Protein backbone atom coordinates (compact mmCIF):
# COMPACT_ATOMS: atom_id res chain seq x y z
CA UNK A 1 0.00 0.00 0.00
CA UNK A 2 1.38 3.40 -0.99
CA UNK A 3 1.38 6.13 1.63
CA UNK A 4 -0.04 9.47 0.54
CA UNK A 5 2.18 11.78 2.57
CA UNK A 6 1.30 15.47 2.81
CA UNK A 7 3.91 17.80 1.40
CA UNK A 8 5.79 19.84 4.00
CA UNK A 9 6.04 23.60 3.69
CA UNK A 10 8.81 24.40 1.23
CA UNK A 11 10.86 27.46 0.41
CA UNK A 12 10.56 28.43 -3.24
CA UNK A 13 13.07 30.31 -5.39
CA UNK A 14 13.40 31.38 -9.02
CA UNK A 15 17.16 31.45 -9.48
CA UNK A 16 19.30 32.81 -12.31
CA UNK A 17 21.34 29.77 -13.34
CA UNK A 18 23.75 30.10 -16.26
CA UNK A 19 21.58 32.81 -17.79
CA UNK A 20 18.23 31.05 -17.41
CA UNK A 21 15.59 31.07 -14.70
CA UNK A 22 15.35 27.79 -12.79
CA UNK A 23 12.62 27.15 -10.24
CA UNK A 24 13.71 25.40 -7.04
CA UNK A 25 11.79 24.27 -3.96
CA UNK A 26 13.54 23.01 -0.85
CA UNK A 27 12.93 21.79 2.67
CA UNK A 28 14.71 19.90 5.44
CA UNK A 29 18.20 19.99 6.89
CA UNK A 30 21.19 17.71 6.47
CA UNK A 31 23.27 16.50 3.53
CA UNK A 32 21.96 18.02 0.29
CA UNK A 33 19.93 15.80 -2.04
CA UNK A 34 18.70 16.95 -5.46
CA UNK A 35 15.56 15.23 -6.73
CA UNK A 36 15.51 15.31 -10.55
CA UNK A 37 12.14 14.55 -12.16
CA UNK A 38 11.23 12.63 -15.31
CA UNK A 39 10.54 14.03 -18.74
CA UNK A 40 6.92 13.15 -19.44
CA UNK A 41 4.48 15.85 -20.60
CA UNK A 42 3.60 18.26 -17.82
CA UNK A 43 6.17 16.87 -15.38
CA UNK A 44 7.64 19.02 -12.61
CA UNK A 45 9.85 18.44 -9.60
CA UNK A 46 7.59 18.73 -6.57
CA UNK A 47 4.67 16.94 -8.26
CA UNK A 48 6.87 13.99 -9.30
CA UNK A 49 8.25 13.56 -5.78
CA UNK A 50 5.11 14.43 -3.80
CA UNK A 51 5.20 11.07 -1.98
CA UNK A 52 8.91 11.27 -1.07
CA UNK A 53 9.84 14.81 -0.07
CA UNK A 54 8.47 14.75 3.49
CA UNK A 55 10.16 11.46 4.39
CA UNK A 56 13.53 12.35 2.90
CA UNK A 57 13.40 15.81 4.52
CA UNK A 58 13.54 14.15 7.96
CA UNK A 59 17.20 13.44 7.30
CA UNK A 60 18.29 15.53 4.31
CA UNK A 61 18.20 18.99 2.80
CA UNK A 62 15.88 18.16 -0.08
CA UNK A 63 16.28 20.38 -3.17
CA UNK A 64 13.73 19.93 -5.94
CA UNK A 65 14.25 21.88 -9.19
CA UNK A 66 12.06 22.02 -12.25
CA UNK A 67 14.40 20.96 -15.04
CA UNK A 68 14.78 23.26 -18.07
CA UNK A 69 11.70 23.02 -20.25
CA UNK A 70 9.39 22.07 -17.38
CA UNK A 71 7.25 23.61 -14.67
CA UNK A 72 8.24 27.14 -13.74
CA UNK A 73 11.75 26.94 -15.19
CA UNK A 74 12.90 28.51 -18.47
CA UNK A 75 11.82 26.62 -21.55
CA UNK A 76 14.00 25.09 -24.24
CA UNK A 77 16.52 22.21 -24.25
CA UNK A 78 19.44 21.67 -26.63
CA UNK A 79 18.25 18.83 -28.87
CA UNK A 80 21.77 18.02 -30.07
CA UNK A 81 22.82 16.94 -26.56
CA UNK A 82 19.83 17.07 -24.18
CA UNK A 83 21.38 15.03 -21.38
CA UNK A 84 24.50 17.20 -21.45
CA UNK A 85 22.40 20.36 -21.45
CA UNK A 86 20.42 19.22 -18.42
CA UNK A 87 23.57 18.09 -16.61
CA UNK A 88 25.31 21.41 -17.26
CA UNK A 89 22.29 23.27 -15.91
CA UNK A 90 22.09 21.18 -12.73
CA UNK A 91 25.85 21.57 -12.19
CA UNK A 92 25.45 25.34 -12.54
CA UNK A 93 22.59 25.12 -10.04
CA UNK A 94 24.93 23.41 -7.55
CA UNK A 95 27.35 26.30 -8.07
CA UNK A 96 24.55 28.83 -7.58
CA UNK A 97 23.57 27.11 -4.31
CA UNK A 98 27.20 27.05 -3.14
CA UNK A 99 27.35 23.24 -3.10
CA UNK A 100 30.61 21.54 -4.01
CA UNK A 101 28.93 18.14 -3.88
CA UNK A 102 25.46 16.64 -3.44
CA UNK A 103 23.54 13.40 -3.65
CA UNK A 104 21.54 13.03 -6.86
CA UNK A 105 18.25 11.17 -7.21
CA UNK A 106 16.89 10.94 -10.74
CA UNK A 107 13.87 9.33 -12.39
CA UNK A 108 13.86 8.63 -16.15
CA UNK A 109 14.97 11.89 -17.89
CA UNK A 110 16.21 13.14 -14.51
CA UNK A 111 18.14 9.88 -14.08
CA UNK A 112 19.85 10.45 -17.41
CA UNK A 113 20.69 13.99 -16.29
CA UNK A 114 22.18 12.70 -13.02
CA UNK A 115 24.21 9.99 -14.72
CA UNK A 116 25.61 12.39 -17.31
CA UNK A 117 26.55 14.90 -14.60
CA UNK A 118 28.32 12.14 -12.66
CA UNK A 119 30.22 10.95 -15.75
CA UNK A 120 31.34 14.48 -16.67
CA UNK A 121 32.21 15.60 -13.11
CA UNK A 122 32.20 12.67 -10.64
CA UNK A 123 33.72 14.86 -7.94
CA UNK A 124 30.43 16.82 -7.75
CA UNK A 125 28.29 13.76 -6.87
CA UNK A 126 28.32 12.06 -3.48
CA UNK A 127 25.92 9.14 -3.99
CA UNK A 128 23.34 8.57 -6.70
CA UNK A 129 19.96 6.84 -6.94
CA UNK A 130 18.54 6.21 -10.43
CA UNK A 131 14.99 5.02 -11.13
CA UNK A 132 14.45 3.61 -14.63
CA UNK A 133 16.91 6.15 -16.08
CA UNK A 134 16.76 7.16 -19.72
CA UNK A 135 19.55 6.47 -22.17
CA UNK A 136 20.31 2.86 -21.25
CA UNK A 137 20.70 0.60 -24.29
CA UNK A 138 18.66 2.91 -26.50
CA UNK A 139 20.80 2.14 -29.58
CA UNK A 140 20.44 -1.62 -29.01
CA UNK A 141 16.65 -1.95 -29.44
CA UNK A 142 13.69 -0.09 -30.89
CA UNK A 143 11.84 2.34 -28.58
CA UNK A 144 9.22 0.77 -26.33
CA UNK A 145 5.51 1.48 -26.94
CA UNK A 146 5.56 3.59 -23.78
CA UNK A 147 8.47 5.72 -24.97
CA UNK A 148 6.81 6.12 -28.37
CA UNK A 149 3.64 7.30 -26.63
CA UNK A 150 5.66 9.87 -24.72
CA UNK A 151 7.63 11.08 -27.76
CA UNK A 152 4.49 11.33 -29.91
CA UNK A 153 2.56 13.48 -27.44
CA UNK A 154 3.22 16.78 -29.22
CA UNK A 155 3.18 15.38 -32.76
CA UNK A 156 0.28 14.38 -35.00
CA UNK A 157 -2.91 16.04 -33.79
CA UNK A 158 -1.04 17.67 -30.90
CA UNK A 159 -1.41 17.35 -27.13
CA UNK A 160 -4.68 16.31 -25.52
CA UNK A 161 -5.84 15.18 -22.12
CA UNK A 162 -6.83 11.82 -23.61
CA UNK A 163 -3.32 11.22 -24.99
CA UNK A 164 -1.78 12.13 -21.65
CA UNK A 165 -4.18 9.90 -19.71
CA UNK A 166 -3.41 6.99 -22.04
CA UNK A 167 0.34 7.47 -21.54
CA UNK A 168 0.06 7.68 -17.74
CA UNK A 169 -2.51 4.92 -17.16
CA UNK A 170 -1.38 2.49 -19.88
CA UNK A 171 2.37 2.96 -19.81
CA UNK A 172 3.69 4.97 -16.86
CA UNK A 173 2.37 2.91 -13.94
CA UNK A 174 1.54 -0.73 -13.19
CA UNK A 175 -1.79 0.04 -11.51
CA UNK A 176 -3.72 2.70 -13.44
CA UNK A 177 -6.06 3.32 -10.51
CA UNK A 178 -3.12 4.54 -8.40
CA UNK A 179 -3.02 7.85 -10.31
CA UNK A 180 -5.75 10.34 -9.32
CA UNK A 181 -7.55 12.30 -12.05
CA UNK A 182 -6.24 15.47 -10.38
CA UNK A 183 -2.64 14.47 -11.25
CA UNK A 184 -3.56 14.02 -14.91
CA UNK A 185 -5.53 17.30 -14.96
CA UNK A 186 -2.60 19.25 -13.50
CA UNK A 187 -0.06 17.68 -15.83
CA UNK A 188 -2.24 18.31 -18.85
CA UNK A 189 -2.55 22.01 -18.04
CA UNK A 190 1.23 22.30 -17.66
CA UNK A 191 1.81 20.35 -20.88
CA UNK A 192 -0.12 22.84 -23.01
CA UNK A 193 1.87 25.90 -21.94
CA UNK A 194 2.41 27.65 -25.31
CA UNK A 195 6.17 27.88 -24.73
CA UNK A 196 6.36 24.13 -24.14
CA UNK A 197 4.20 23.30 -27.16
CA UNK A 198 6.49 25.49 -29.29
CA UNK A 199 9.64 23.73 -28.03
CA UNK A 200 8.94 20.36 -26.37
CA UNK A 201 11.81 19.51 -23.99
CA UNK A 202 11.86 15.79 -24.83
CA UNK A 203 12.01 14.83 -28.51
CA UNK A 204 13.37 12.10 -30.71
CA UNK A 205 17.15 12.49 -31.29
CA UNK A 206 17.89 14.84 -34.17
CA UNK A 207 20.76 12.78 -35.61
CA UNK A 208 22.54 9.44 -35.35
CA UNK A 209 25.32 11.20 -33.45
CA UNK A 210 22.84 12.57 -30.92
CA UNK A 211 21.23 9.12 -30.54
CA UNK A 212 24.64 7.51 -29.94
CA UNK A 213 25.58 10.16 -27.39
CA UNK A 214 22.29 9.52 -25.55
CA UNK A 215 23.09 5.82 -24.95
CA UNK A 216 25.22 5.56 -21.82
CA UNK A 217 26.09 1.92 -22.54
CA UNK A 218 28.28 3.28 -25.36
CA UNK A 219 30.21 5.51 -22.93
CA UNK A 220 33.47 3.90 -21.82
CA UNK A 221 33.59 6.17 -18.76
CA UNK A 222 30.79 4.14 -17.19
CA UNK A 223 33.24 1.35 -16.26
CA UNK A 224 35.39 3.84 -14.31
CA UNK A 225 32.62 5.82 -12.57
CA UNK A 226 33.47 5.81 -8.83
CA UNK A 227 30.13 7.20 -7.57
CA UNK A 228 28.22 4.67 -5.40
CA UNK A 229 24.95 4.13 -7.24
CA UNK A 230 21.65 2.44 -6.47
CA UNK A 231 19.51 1.57 -9.51
CA UNK A 232 15.82 0.90 -8.89
CA UNK A 233 13.82 -0.44 -11.82
CA UNK A 234 10.17 -1.43 -11.99
CA UNK A 235 9.90 -4.99 -13.31
CA UNK A 236 6.83 -3.92 -15.33
CA UNK A 237 8.35 -0.70 -16.73
CA UNK A 238 6.82 -0.09 -20.19
CA UNK A 239 8.77 3.12 -20.90
CA UNK A 240 12.39 2.14 -20.29
CA UNK A 241 13.08 -1.60 -20.48
CA UNK A 242 13.96 -3.29 -17.15
CA UNK A 243 16.87 -4.96 -18.99
CA UNK A 244 18.59 -1.59 -18.59
CA UNK A 245 19.17 -2.39 -14.91
CA UNK A 246 21.52 -5.34 -15.51
CA UNK A 247 23.21 -3.34 -18.30
CA UNK A 248 24.16 -0.67 -15.77
CA UNK A 249 25.04 -3.08 -12.96
CA UNK A 250 27.28 -5.03 -15.33
CA UNK A 251 29.19 -1.94 -16.42
CA UNK A 252 29.42 0.25 -13.30
CA UNK A 253 31.91 -0.76 -10.60
CA UNK A 254 29.87 0.52 -7.60
CA UNK A 255 26.29 -0.18 -8.66
CA UNK A 256 23.60 -1.95 -6.63
CA UNK A 257 20.49 -3.05 -8.54
CA UNK A 258 17.00 -3.51 -7.08
CA UNK A 259 14.21 -4.68 -9.39
CA UNK A 260 10.80 -3.83 -7.97
CA UNK A 261 7.98 -6.31 -8.64
CA UNK A 262 4.53 -5.23 -9.87
CA UNK A 263 5.82 -1.71 -10.54
CA UNK A 264 6.04 0.41 -13.67
CA UNK A 265 8.20 3.38 -14.60
CA UNK A 266 7.38 5.54 -11.57
CA UNK A 267 8.97 3.63 -8.67
CA UNK A 268 9.11 6.61 -6.30
CA UNK A 269 5.36 7.19 -6.76
CA UNK A 270 4.06 3.63 -7.06
CA UNK A 271 6.16 2.12 -4.26
CA UNK A 272 6.80 5.21 -2.17
CA UNK A 273 7.35 3.49 1.20
CA UNK A 274 9.90 1.07 -0.23
CA UNK A 275 11.59 3.80 -2.25
CA UNK A 276 11.81 6.22 0.69
CA UNK A 277 13.41 3.60 2.92
CA UNK A 278 15.88 2.31 0.33
CA UNK A 279 16.82 5.80 -0.82
CA UNK A 280 17.36 7.26 2.66
CA UNK A 281 19.42 4.26 3.78
CA UNK A 282 21.56 4.13 0.64
CA UNK A 283 22.36 7.85 0.63
CA UNK A 284 23.36 7.61 4.32
CA UNK A 285 25.63 4.64 3.58
CA UNK A 286 23.54 2.29 5.68
CA UNK A 287 23.30 -0.27 2.88
Q: pLDDT (tens digit, 9 = 90+) per residue, 248-258?
A: 999 999 999 99
Q: How confident is the model over 49-67, as a mean pLDDT? A: 97
What end-to-end distance do the CA atoms of the chain give, in Å?
A: 23
Phi, psi of 172 (to 5 degrees): -75, -40
Phi, psi of 285 (to 5 degrees): 80, 20
pLDDT of 80 reads: 86
> Which contiguous run of DSSP H or E holds residue 258?
strand 255-260
Is the pLDDT confidence value at 53 over 60?
Answer: yes
Phi, psi of 77 (to 5 degrees): -135, 140
pLDDT of 218 reads: 95
Query: Could you give the percent of the chain with pLDDT greater than 70?
Result: 98
> Which contiguous run of DSSP H or E holds residue 62?
strand 61-65
CA 239 to chain centre: 13
88: left (phi over 0), alpha (psi -120 to 50) or beta: alpha
In this structure, are strands 255-260 and 102-107 parallel, antiparallel, or unpaired?
Answer: unpaired
Cβ neighbours around 224 below 10 Å, total: 10
- For residue 205, name the pLDDT band (cuts at 50, 70, 90): confident
| Helix, coil or strand: residue 123 | helix
- For residue 2, name the pLDDT band (cuts at 50, 70, 90): very low
58/173 Cα distance (integer angstroms): 27
Catalytic residues: 265
pTM of the model: 0.95
Model confidence pLDDT, tens digit, residues 62-79: 999 999 999 999 998 988
pLDDT of 104 reads: 98
Amino acid sequence: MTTHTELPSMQEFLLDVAGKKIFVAETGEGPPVLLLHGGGPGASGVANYARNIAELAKEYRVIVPDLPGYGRSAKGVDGADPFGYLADTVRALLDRLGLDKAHLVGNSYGGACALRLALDTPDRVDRMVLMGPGGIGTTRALPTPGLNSLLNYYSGDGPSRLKLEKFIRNYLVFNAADVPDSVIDARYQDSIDPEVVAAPPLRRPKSLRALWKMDFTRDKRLARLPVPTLVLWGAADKVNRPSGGPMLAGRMPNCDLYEVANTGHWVQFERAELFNRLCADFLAGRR
